[in-house]
A and B are shown apart, each in its own frame.
Chain A
Amino acid sequence: MVALLVCLVVILGVVIALAYAERKVAAFIQDRLGPTEVGPYGMFQAIIDVVKLLQKEDIIPTVADKNLFRLAPIIIFAAVLAGFAVVPVSPDLIASGAEVGIFFLLSIVSLDVIGLLMAGWGSNNKYAVLGAMRSVGQIVSYEIPAGLAILSAIMICQSLNLQEISFQQGILLNQFAGLENEKNYLFGLKALQIDVTQVGGITTWNIVRMPFLMVSFIVYYIASLAECNRAPFDIPEAESELVAGFHVEYSGFRFAALFLAEYTMMVLVCLVATILFLGSWNTPLPNLGPLKLATWTTSTPGTIVANLWGFFWLMSKVSILLLSQIWLRWTYPRMRVDQLMQLCWKILIPVSLGMVLLAGIWRLLMI
């Protein structure tokens, strides 16, 4: 229950901050100032925007399929929000410690596609239908490389539980029930005989435990961009071609829900990337001899300090990923549909299949 409340508040806070960051970073890249009027440096612009949207009239087109149209934003937002249930925010805080964690997350987030299709079809607008079709085609395609990249990380961790995966990537490894006798070796190679269980920090992150997971991480990162319809894969929304894609007919509260869902999705995919590849809520600082950096920046689990540290490290990593997503969006031009599909089916899927094979072999070297 605490985790749910923390999650809701944090998600809304992060999403609002992200919407503001998006506008500011975009402005700076394009030599503009961005919002400056509302609050210091225009900080409250995003909040004001949401308040404004909530006050607006809820327009439902006369020829729209009203039930689908009304329901779609709720389904999209609910699907994305449900994904947070299995995401750990600190060593002790997780809404649901489900054993099938990441599997649940992938499947519930896939419901998003149905919402998008409902929104596009229900609007009875050609741009909306085109946007929804593109979006669904894109998300369904990119779930394969994303899923395979996640699979390679899971094969290394031998668990679907995101909290267990988090514990594996730091000095608290032995504190998780069932992992008491586990050991972390440098690069995961038992043959090297360098025990880094108590060194922690970056040396126990998944991308170091199995260095080739860096490739999986990049594949997942690219696929996740496509899954949340971000540039350079924003063809479902392509302003210059489709006005706004599937949400062109939406206004007021429903538009706000779609808008927030999009940014929430960004946060969610970055959280998953962080948890699976970048050490989750674990500190990046290793214990070096007498300098117990990892221990100092982790604290004893169960205390408030430990939870704050965990939350701090998780959010720092997520923020960096989110900023990089914004940075990419305002640098790269949009891809064509055929280029998008070529990247997915001809490059990312073969690479991620290779990574699954490699992860399997690596896992054999780890035990």
Chain B
Amino acid sequence: MENNTVNIESKNSFWASVSSLWSGLMLSLRHIRKATKRRNQAYISDKDYFAQKEGLVTLKYPYEAIPVPDNGRYRLHNEIDDCIVCDLCAKICPVNCIEIESIKATEEIGITSDGTKKRLYAPKFDIDLAKCCYCGLCTTVCPTDCLTMTKVYDFPEVDIKNMIYHFTDLTPEQAREKQLLFEQQQAAKKK
């Protein structure tokens, strides 16, 4: 039972207090003295991340930045040439930040870089990055790997409308034209 109590030896004598106050002051003075040095900015996987014990830690961000890890998930990018407009990303998105409209093509419009045939135009492929929660689900469901998360994380905007990224490669006129072509083809089929 005698081991259950912890005796912290209390030093309440005057000189013990003075020396403890003094050592506190010396501790902060040591940090001031070493304030001329700066720590190397290293990512946590770096070998000497914990080896640096002194120097200033501040990262002067806009001027310096630590590298983003390879699996970092930041701004979305859609390679529209590879996109088959399957809408899977929009469906899985938990915050509904992707909006897609599609127009059926009258014929095969090409193949993606992994060999999938493209049959749909995307007159609208908008990602509202102000809503995006960076979960990365859309990139995992993308069948052609055209939707990816890049390492760009610094993209603030003054106007929040600019946070909506438009990835379509069609102008509204082109889109209308494609729509018209499709309708004509459908009408021809019915006859």
Interface residues of A (CB under 8 A from B): 25, 27-33, 36, 327-328, 330-332
Binds A, one of B26-34, B96-104, B139-147: B26-34
The distance from the CB of B20 to the nearest CB of chain A, in whole angstroms, is 11
The CA-CA distance from A331 to B32 in the complex, in Å, is: 12
The distance from the CB of A325 to the nearest CB of chain B, in whole angstroms, is 12
B152 at the interface (CB under 8 A from A): no
User: With A331-B24, A331-B25 known to touch, is A36 a contact of B31 (CB < 8 Å)?
Assistant: no
Binds A, one of B1-9, B53-61, B79-87: B53-61
Pick the residue among A33, A36, A330 that contacts B28 (CB under 8 A): A330
The distance from the CB of A335 to the nearest CB of chain B, in whole angstroms, is 12
Instruction: Tell whether, in the assembled complex, residue B35 and residue A28 are in contact, meaning their CB atoms are under 8 Å apart.
Output: yes
Residues of A within 8 A of B57 (CB): 31-32
The CA-CA distance from A31 to B25 in the complex, in Å, is: 15
Looking across the interface, which residue of chain B has its beta carbon closest to that of A25? B32
The distance from the CB of A49 to the nearest CB of chain B, in whole angstroms, is 19
Question: What are 7 contact pairs spanning A and B, CB under 8 A?
Answer: A27-B58, A28-B35, A28-B56, A32-B56, A32-B57, A328-B25, A331-B24
Looking across the interface, which residue of chain A has its beta carbon closest to that of B14? A347
Task: List the 4 closest A-B pairs by CB distance, nearest first.
Answer: A28-B35, A33-B58, A331-B28, A29-B28
The CA-CA distance from A30 to B57 in the complex, in Å, is: 9
Instruction: Tell whether, in the assembled complex, residue A31 and residue B24 are in contact, meaning their CB atoms are under 8 Å apart.
Output: no
The distance from the CB of A27 to the nearest CB of chain B, in whole angstroms, is 8
Instruction: Tell whether, in the assembled complex, residue B31 and residue A29 are in contact, meaning their CB atoms are under 8 Å apart.
Output: yes
Residues of B within 8 A of A33 (CB): 38, 56, 58, 60
The distance from the CB of A276 to the nearest CB of chain B, in whole angstroms, is 23
The CA-CA distance from A25 to B29 in the complex, in Å, is: 10
Chain A interface, DSSP helix/strand/loop, else mixed: loop
Looking across the interface, which residue of chain A has its beta carbon closest to that of B63? A36
Instruction: Tell whether, in the assembled complex, residue A331 and residue B27 are in contact, meaning their CB atoms are under 8 Å apart.
Output: yes
Q: How many residues of B contact A (CB 8 A)?
A: 16
The CA-CA distance from A331 to B21 in the complex, in Å, is: 9
Instruction: Tell whether, in the assembled complex, residue A28 and residue B60 are in contact, meaning their CB atoms are under 8 Å apart.
Output: no
Looking across the interface, which residue of chain B has its beta carbon closest to that of A32? B58
The residues in B between 22 and 50 inclusive whose CB is less than 8 angstroms from any CB of A are 24-25, 27-29, 31-32, 35, 38
Looking across the interface, which residue of chain B has its beta carbon closest to that of A29? B28
User: With A36-B60, A331-B24, A332-B24 known to touch, is A30 a contact of B29 (CB < 8 Å)?
Assistant: no
The CA-CA distance from A29 to B33 in the complex, in Å, is: 9
Residues of B within 8 A of A327 (CB): 25, 28-29
Residues of B within 8 A of A31 (CB): 31, 35, 54-58
The distance from the CB of A281 to the nearest CB of chain B, in whole angstroms, is 28
Residues of A within 8 A of B31 (CB): 28-31
The CA-CA distance from A227 to B15 in the complex, in Å, is: 26
The CA-CA distance from A223 to B106 in the complex, in Å, is: 88
Residues of A within 8 A of B58 (CB): 27, 31-33
The CA-CA distance from A31 to B24 in the complex, in Å, is: 16
The CA-CA distance from A27 to B28 in the complex, in Å, is: 11
The CA-CA distance from A59 to B57 in the complex, in Å, is: 38
The residues in B between 125 and 161 inclusive whose CB is less than 8 angstroms from any CB of A are none
The distance from the CB of A342 to the nearest CB of chain B, in whole angstroms, is 13
Residues of B within 8 A of A32 (CB): 56-58
Residue among B21, B24, B28, B38 having the largest count of chain A Cβ atoms under 10 Å: B28
The CA-CA distance from A327 to B21 in the complex, in Å, is: 12
Looking across the interface, which residue of chain B has its beta carbon closest to that of A324? B25
Residues of A within 8 A of B55 (CB): 31
Residue among A29, A36, A327 having the largest count of chain B Cβ atoms under 10 Å: A29
Residue among B25, B29, B35 having the largest count of chain A Cβ atoms under 10 Å: B35
Residues of B within 8 A of A330 (CB): 28
The distance from the CB of A143 to the nearest CB of chain B, in whole angstroms, is 24
Give me 19 other A-B pairs in contact (C-beta within 8 A), A32-B58, A332-B24 excluded: A25-B32, A27-B35, A28-B31, A28-B32, A28-B35, A29-B31, A29-B32, A30-B31, A31-B56, A31-B57, A31-B58, A33-B56, A36-B60, A328-B25, A330-B28, A331-B24, A331-B25, A331-B28, A332-B21
The CA-CA distance from A330 to B25 in the complex, in Å, is: 9
Looking across the interface, which residue of chain A has its beta carbon closest to that of B35? A28
Residue among A36, A330, A331 having the largest count of chain B Cβ atoms under 10 Å: A331
Residues of A within 8 A of B32 (CB): 25, 28-29
Residue among A28, A32, A36, A330 having the largest count of chain B Cβ atoms under 10 Å: A28
The CA-CA distance from A330 to B27 in the complex, in Å, is: 11
